[in-house]
Amino acid sequence: SDSSRPKSTGHGQAKRSTSGDNVKVVVRIRPPNEAEGERFHSVTEAISDHMLVFDPKVQRPMGFLPPNHRDVNRRRFKDLKYAFDYVFGPSSSNKDVFEQTTGSIVKGVLNGYNCSVFAYGATGAGKTHTMLGNSQEPGVIYHTMIDLYKRINEQRDEKCFDVAVSYSEVYNEQVRDLLMPRGNLPIREDKTVGVIIAGLSLHKPKSAEELLHMLHFGNKNRTQHPTDANAESSRSHAVFQVFVNQRQRCSNFNSEVKMAKMCLVDLAGSERATHTTNQGARFREGANINRSLLALGNVINALADNKFKGHIPYRDSKLTRLLKDSLGGNCHTVMIAAVSPSSRSFEDTYNTLRYADRAKHIRADVSRWAGKDLVSLLMF
Ligand code: ADP
Ligand code: MG
């Protein structure tokens, strides 16, 4: 079946194959589930550690027609090859994903740089599996925290650390605490500490088990509603934040505290709201989800075009306001785009790959960045 495809040209030859040092975009293709394995064919395949082929022309079962959408014109799809910083195939583990993604930015956090990690993709593509995981296969958040604590322990003699975590959701353009739910919380911007969610509870888990317990407890509080499109549809963005404060134990700058935070976000399903037939409240939900995802896309595009003189539309949604000081500038950013391998989801997969492809263009430009980030810059 591979004979019609061009041979892999290797990482270097794909157009726009690399992102800036501060940005990583990876794609994870999950294994097919039972329903997909039987009736559908694989349209997305990892052909190397850095490249995938998207080919919706592979033979479909009789009677299967693609949705009628302007972007999904079968004639426009030849084999599409995409290069990313990493492509994880169906046999990859959450540990593998951690090692190639947040593994390299924990160090940055300990050096005072904010960072953000997104799991992007349609409902059912594997976002929550990747970020949160389950007891047999803990997710990227777990591995990141283990790594963070390990590195902190190694530096204990020279520095004092203070680590706290929070878990919130952005739902319907409102921010709620997932660990101590009590109404909507406002987002504020502070000159010294940056963006904060006022009244959000902070926690200091004493062990990895306690952290996992907290995450699963929080996840149960996420707003989820059955819709016509998918009974498990997740309509909220779950935002896990780690705040790291540190100071030298014995130095002339004894009083200086270096602050950094890590935001790990399990985004709401990226499928288009038009897929559901719901009206009223549910319809508004859909519009707001699109608003946050759209705004995130616009922010990423604006950063990607490197038009820092221009306007970065952080204020267009709650999610982007929340991430304002953790996205772009000197912040490390990781996007994990999750896709199904199956022809059943090829439109979602195509849209996700395009979104991820755009995200590769973010370039960091420390010199033109001001505001909160300057605080951490000045501390070096
Ligand atoms: P999303 O959060 O994007 O809606 P989930 O992470 O809940 O999707 O994944 C949908 C289903 O597929 C879940 O049952 C999950 O356990 C399973 N799944 C997703 N990714 C993988 C993977 N890499 N390996 C095994 N199972 C997976
Ligand atoms: Mg989910």
Whose Cα sits closest to atom 19 in ligand 1?
Answer: 126
**Which token pair is 93?**
């583990």
Q: How many angstroms separate the first and last alpha carbons of the chain?
A: 55
Do the annotations mark residue 123 as ligand-binding?
yes
Least confident of 9-23, 110-124, 227-241: 9-23
284-313 pLDDT, tens digit per residue, is 566 666 688 888 888 877 776 655 556 788
132-154 pLDDT, tens digit per residue, is 999 899 999 999 999 999 999 99
Percent helix / strand / coil, the chain, rounded to 5: 35, 25, 45
pLDDT the model gives residue 357: 85
Task: Output 260 or 369, whichever has higher pLDDT.
Answer: 260
pLDDT the model gives residue 284: 59
CA 117–ligand 1 middle distance (angstroms): 18
Sheet of strand 237-248, all strands in order from the earlier edge strand to the far edge? 86-88, 23-29, 332-339, 115-120, 258-266, 237-248, 159-171, 174-177, 184-185
pTM of the complete model beyond 0.90: no
One-letter amino acid identity for 224?
Q
30-52 pLDDT, tens digit per residue, is 999 888 877 677 888 898 999 88
**Which token pair is 111?**
């050096």
- Residue 315: phi and psi, rounded to 5, are -75, -5
Cβ neighbours, 10 Å, residue 278 = 17
pLDDT the model gives residue 127: 96
Round to whole Å and give the CA distance between 272 and 212.
31
Residues 326-348, mean pLDDT to the nearest whole number = 88
| Angle between helical axes of 140-154 and 208-220 (0-180°, round to 10) | 150
pLDDT the model gives residue 104: 81
Least confident of 180-184, 250-254, 263-267, 340-344: 250-254
Whose Cα sits closest to atom 9 in ligand 1?
Answer: 126
| Ligand 1 near 89 CB (within 6 A) | no
CA 96–ligand 2 middle distance (angstroms): 19
- Identify the nearest ligand to the CA of 237 by its number: 2
Residues 68-92, mean pLDDT to the nearest whole number = 71
Split at pLDDT 50, 70, 90, the class of 283 is low
**Which token pair is 162?**
């203070």
Using alpha carbons, list the distances in angstroms from residue 132 to 146, 200, 213, 325. Answer: 14, 20, 11, 24
Least confident of 38-42, 104-108, 115-119, 188-192: 38-42
pLDDT the model gives residue 92: 97
What average pLDDT is seen over the chain? 78
| Ligand 1 near 139 CB (within 6 A) | no
- Identify the nearest ligand to the CA of 129 by its number: 1
Where on the phi/psi map is residue 228: left (φ > 0), alpha (ψ -120 to 50), or beta? alpha
One-letter amino acid identity for 212?
L
Whose Cα sits closest to atom 16 in ligand 1?
Answer: 129
Split at pLDDT 50, 70, 90, the class of 94 is very high
Using alpha carbons, list the distances in angstroms from residue 342 to 55, 126, 270, 357, 362. Answer: 10, 13, 17, 20, 29
Between vectors from CA 326 to CA 322 and to CA 329, what angle results, nearest 5°? 130
In the predicted structure, residue 240 carries a pLDDT above the cut 80: yes
Split at pLDDT 50, 70, 90, the class of 119 is very high
In the predicted structure, residue 277 carries a pLDDT above the cut 50: no
Residues 304-333, mean pLDDT to the nearest whole number = 81
pLDDT the model gives residue 6: 36
DSSP secondary structure letters along 13-51 = GSTT----TTEEEEEEEPPP-HHHHHH--B-EEE-SSSE
Do the annotations mark residue 125 as ligand-binding?
yes
Split at pLDDT 50, 70, 90, the class of 222 is confident
Classify residue 280 by its DSSP letter.
H
**Which token pair is 337?**
């785009």
**Which token pair is 44?**
């997305």
Q: Which of 30, 123, 220 to mutate to test the pocket of ligand 1 (most atoms within 8 A of CB)?
A: 30
Q: Which of 28, 91, 129 to mutate to test the pocket of ligand 1 (most atoms within 8 A of CB)?
A: 129
Do the annotations mark residue 371 as ligand-binding?
no
Split at pLDDT 50, 70, 90, the class of 212 is confident
Residue the block writes with tokens 């694989």:
42
pLDDT the model gives residue 360: 76
| Ligand 1 near 332 CB (within 6 A) | no
DSSP secondary structure letters along 321-344 = HHTGGGSSTT-EEEEEEEE--BGG
pLDDT the model gives residue 338: 97
Beta strands in the chain (DSSP E): 23-29, 44-46, 51-54, 80-83, 86-88, 115-120, 159-171, 174-177, 184-185, 187-190, 194-197, 237-248, 258-266, 332-339
In the predicted structure, residue 318 carries a pLDDT above the cut 90: yes
For ligand 2, a single-atom ion, the residues with CB < 5 A are 127-128, 234
CA 332–ligand 2 middle distance (angstroms): 23
pLDDT the model gives residue 79: 65
In the predicted structure, residue 68 carries a pLDDT above the cut 50: no
In the predicted structure, residue 5 carries a pLDDT above the cut 70: no
